[in-house]
Amino acid sequence: MIGYVTLGTNDLARAAAFYDELLKEVGARRLWEFPRGIAWGVAEDKPSLCIMTPFDGRPASVGNGVMVALAAKSREQVGRVHARALALGGTDEGAVGPRGDGFYAGYFRDLDGNKLDVFCLG
């Protein structure tokens, strides 16, 4: 159902460097790019994550209640992605750990303040 999710950025080059390194951890690569944005994914026919400067030219801002969830294959991968996000300058929004029946996650914000989590089931 979801084709792609877009997060705003005020510094495309800085955000691109962050996501190039972070999304390697889940096997994603750049699928396409153009002057205002870049998209990463694992395949052209799967959902992707995009970063873009706003179309209206105004500064990007963080949406209250908006979060993007990155699927991981294991608890170990959850830990690696979360740790990598923090090492790349992201901020912690919730340590890695169990969050209820079979849900395991870690939460962080990217360099522009967008909230993401990385999770696995089981």
pLDDT of amino acid 100: 86
Overall fold of domain 4-54+66-121: 2,3-Dihydroxybiphenyl 1,2-Dioxygenase; domain 1 (3.10.180)
29 pLDDT more than 80: yes
Say if CB 49 and CB 8 are below 8 A apart. Answer: no
| For residue 1, pLDDT beyond 80 | no
pLDDT per residue as tens digits for the range 63-110? 888 999 999 999 999 999 999 999 999 999 999 999 988 999 999 999
The pLDDT of residue 57: 93
pLDDT, position 82: 98
94 forms beta bridges with 107
Instruction: Identify the residue whose tokens are 């395991």.
Output: 104
Tell me: the pLDDT tens digits for 35-68? Answer: 999 999 999 999 999 999 999 999 999 988 899 9
Q: How many residues can be counted in the chain?
A: 122
In whole angstroms, give the CA distance from residue 27 to residue 72. Answer: 10
User: ∠ CA 103-76-18 to the nearest 5 degrees?
Assistant: 95
Domain locations in the chain?
4-54+66-121
Q: What is residue 112's predicted lDDT score, i.e. its pLDDT?
A: 97
Q: In this structure, what DSSP letter does residue 27 have?
A: T
Q: What is the pTM of this model?
A: 0.91
